[in-house]
Chain A
Amino acid sequence: MPLNRSDEDAERNRRFRELALPYLDDVYTLARYLLRDPTDAEDAVQECYLRAFKHFHTYRGPAMKPWLFAILRNVCHTEFARRSSAKLKAIDDAPEAADKPPLWHESQETPEGAILRERDASAIRKLIDRLAEPFRETFVLREVNNLSYREIADSAGVPVGTVMSRLARARAMLRAAWLAEEESSE
């Protein structure tokens, strides 16, 4: 990118750093869950920030996080779709996954009143990684990135109703997997 030393560009640069860089951990976190690979995640986050800077003049605030997430999501889908789908085909390469019953072998109905055993972050991350893409994305935006439904809808470019149904499904699937793993480990 050519250096432009005019006042306006310097201000734009400073403002971008001030507003966008504090969310680096959040953006990286989402990238890790979307791509499930640390190296790809780093590349995608860098590309995301460069694109965000390039399009910063279109940013109309105030919520920076969903704006960055929407860009990251685009980067992941365009640049990394080929790479990641090749890697993940075995698990859930089903574009219509959102409309089909989940490929979860356990029943979605979980025993009422069953208690989740406390698990550490890496065990939970493995469970989340097994969720099919649209559910995983919605779930992570909510439970890890702490976005509101409206912000998730903006980031993922879907209506709030879709966010709600995906989130409900994702939670049911994750809970079923969580409980199933407890059973098998006992």
Chain B
Amino acid sequence: MTCEEANILIHALADGELDAGHASEVEAHVASCPHCTAELAAIREMTEALARADLGFKAPPQLRRRIEDALPALPAVAAPPSRRSVLKGFAMGSVVSALAATGLVAIVISKDDQQRIEAEIVSAHLRSLQAGHLTDVLSTDQHTVKPWFNGRLDVAPPVIDLTALGFTLIGGRLDYVDARPIGAVVYRRRQHIINLFVAQTSSTERRTTRMDTIQGFNIRSWSERGLNFWAISDIGADELNEFGEKFETAMRVNKEG
């Protein structure tokens, strides 16, 4: 690979946008080229400086009000669901459309534990984003985070460092979901937080992966080796899925996990 080819691809490398094959090609070039090494360092330096500066704006409260006022008013009390609209929600088939009928779903499948627990996962995620709630043990070292859970939980959550794969381990936390203590392993993707909740399951069978979107958060849930996992974040569904896949792969490789 020439510098000219690498020139643009190192941005994709720094942004974690390359697949493993291309990434190693670009990395090999960077390793052998002082110019591109400096370029890559410069890109990372700026991205970090930008992230620290917090360049976002907060929408003024009057704008929020203007928009809410301009949308049709929500009925004060949710109308009872008609049987027809319930069936239609399911006929559409997708989880999102089923969730769309949130009120209806809550009534129809209120006994569904998965649904209730996911709502609690969302709350736990939101709580964790409040200042000072994110981590009980702050460390990027999996060998510090993992033992911290000992004695605090009836399970040993696998703590896997995915930094090299674009998801930085930043710590762990004890949380409560479904009135039980649950382990949360915290990762960062750019400025986004990913909470990975881990709890024991009664069965050892492998449940299929599912993706949900609740209140704008994506949730990827799966289970393996007697543990239930829920990864939740505001990153895109694609990226969260990538996180889940990388975690599962790493867990399979790292049997002691």
Q: Do A and B come from one complex?
A: yes
The interface of chain A, by Cβ under 8 A from chain B, is 1, 3-5, 7-19, 21-29, 32, 41-42, 45-46, 49-50, 53, 61-65, 110, 112-116, 118-121, 124-125, 128, 142-151, 164-165, 167-168, 171, 174-175, 178
A45 near B73 (CB under 8 angstroms)?
A: no
Q: Which residue of B lies closest to A64 (CB)?
A: B216
Q: Which residue of A lies closest to B42 (CB)?
A: A175
B188 to chain A, nearest CB (A): 11
B67 near A164 (CB under 8 angstroms)?
A: no
Q: Which residue of B lies closest to A118 (CB)?
A: B49
The 6 closest A-B pairs by CB, nearest first: A28-B59, A22-B216, A112-B38, A62-B237, A15-B100, A29-B57
- Given A19-B216, A24-B64 in contact, is the A148-B236 Cβ separation under 8 Å? yes
Number of A-B contacts (CB under 8 A): 165
A115 near B216 (CB under 8 angstroms)?
A: no
B201 to chain A, nearest CB (A): 26
A9 near B72 (CB under 8 angstroms)?
A: yes
The complex places the Cα of A175 from the Cα of B38 at a distance, in Å, of 13
With most chain A CB atoms within 10 A of its CB, the pick from B74, B75, B104 is: B75
A49 near B67 (CB under 8 angstroms)?
A: yes
The complex places the Cα of A14 from the Cα of B186 at a distance, in Å, of 31
| 16 intermolecular pairs with C-beta atoms under 8 Å apart | A5-B79, A8-B85, A18-B215, A19-B213, A25-B57, A26-B56, A46-B70, A62-B236, A112-B35, A115-B45, A121-B54, A125-B55, A143-B50, A146-B235, A148-B17, A171-B11
Number of B residues near A (Cβ < 8 Å) is 65
The interface of chain B, by Cβ under 8 A from chain A, is 7-9, 11-12, 15, 17, 34-35, 38-39, 41-43, 45-47, 49-60, 63-64, 66-68, 70-75, 78-79, 81-82, 85, 96, 99-104, 190-192, 211, 213, 215-216, 218, 235-239
A150 near B238 (CB under 8 angstroms)?
A: yes
Q: Which residue of A lies closest to B89 (CB)?
A: A11
The complex places the Cα of A32 from the Cα of B57 at a distance, in Å, of 8
A4 near B213 (CB under 8 angstroms)?
A: no
- Given A8-B85, A143-B47 in contact, is the A61-B53 Cβ separation under 8 Å? no
B17 to chain A, nearest CB (A): 5
